[in-house]
């Protein structure tokens, strides 16, 4: 029993602590690049560490209408695109995706759990190239100017369009804001963003199309968690076990 307890303590030391940052090789999906993980976490300004979280965003490669008033219709659509992606980013890899869009009943920032007043300052958001930062955190996402355009699809290809969003620049539904059209599912024109820029990415003044038009959308993953490189963990853990066995005869 004493040896098991000592091994547990050693295992905890191996899996946690500032020194663990040196063992990071890839993110949960193997998309974050080694170069990214050697730098600082944009959300904290400190070196990446085991347990840090991050998210991915993509611009859909396909197009759809915006006639439904049910936000789950769009969530299911972007999830289906992620599930079919060759990048292995879907439900089979335990990743849930939500549309970055608003209906009259649900704001984009609440649908994606990125509301700074509810969900905190948040985590860094990256493109699927593994190195380009979209936003340092949730506050950065909704301050009117993201870091880089969302211009990579779930296929890993470049694509810049005018996506349906139904959303104002602060993450709330577009209706009621000056120079805005409707939310997703609106009977009139549905508001659009402009994917090629950082300031109007989600909301562009007086830019909309009828909901029956087919246009792309944006998607955001759930928070993912940084893990240590498996081979390094095994070597350290086995080495620690051997050391404990020697000490305990």
What's the rounded mean pLDDT across residues 219-236?
75
| pLDDT score recorded for residue 200 | 96
Q: What is the pLDDT of residue 241?
A: 40
Lowest mean pLDDT among 150-154, 172-176, 181-185, 232-236: 232-236
Give the pLDDT score at 17: 40
| Per-residue pLDDT tens over the stretch 171-203 | 999 999 999 999 999 999 999 999 999 999 999
**CATH code reported for the domain at 51-226:** 3.10.100.10
* CA 22 – CA 20 distance, rounded (Å): 5
The pair of structure tokens assigned to 119 is 């969900």
The answer on pLDDT for 104 being more than 70 is yes
Tell me: pLDDT of 132 over 70. yes
Q: Domain extents for the chain?
A: 51-226
Strand runs (DSSP E) across the chain, as ranges?
53-59, 97-99, 124-126, 133-135, 189-191, 208-210, 218-221, 224-225
d(CA 91, CA 82): 8
SS3 119: helix
For residue 228, the model assigns a pLDDT of 82
């Amino acid at each position: 029993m004493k040896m098991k307890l000592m091994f547990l303590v050693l295992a905890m030391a191996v899996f946690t602590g500032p020194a663990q940052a040196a063992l990071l090789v890839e993110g949960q999906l193997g998309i974050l690049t080694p170069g990214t993980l050697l730098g600082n976490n944009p959300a904290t300004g400190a070196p990446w560490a085991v347990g840090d979280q991050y998210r991915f965003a993509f611009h859909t490669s396909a197009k759809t209408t915006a006639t439904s008033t049910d936000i789950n219709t769009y969530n299911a659509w972007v999830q289906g695109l992620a599930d079919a992606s060759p990048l292995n980013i879907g439900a089979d890899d335990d990743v849930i995706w939500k549309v970055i869009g608003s209906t009259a009943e649900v704001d984009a920032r609440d649908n994606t759990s990125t509301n700074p007043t509810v969900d905190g300052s948040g985590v860094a958001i990256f493109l699927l190239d593994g190195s380009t930062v979209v936003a340092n955190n949730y506050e950065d996402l909704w301050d009117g100017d993201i870091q880089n355009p969302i211009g990579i699809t779930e296929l890993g290809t470049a694509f810049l369009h005018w996506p349906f969003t139904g959303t104002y620049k602060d993450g709330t539904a577009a209706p009621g804001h000056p120079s805005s059209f409707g939310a997703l599912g609106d009977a009139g024109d549905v508001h659009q963003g402009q994917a090629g820029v950082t300031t109007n990415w989600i909301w562009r003044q007086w830019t909309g199309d009828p909901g029956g038009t087919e246009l792309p959308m944006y998607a955001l993953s759930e928070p993912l968690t940084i893990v240590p490189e498996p081979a390094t963990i095994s070597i350290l853990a086995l080495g620690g076990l051997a050391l404990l066995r020697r000490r305990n005869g």
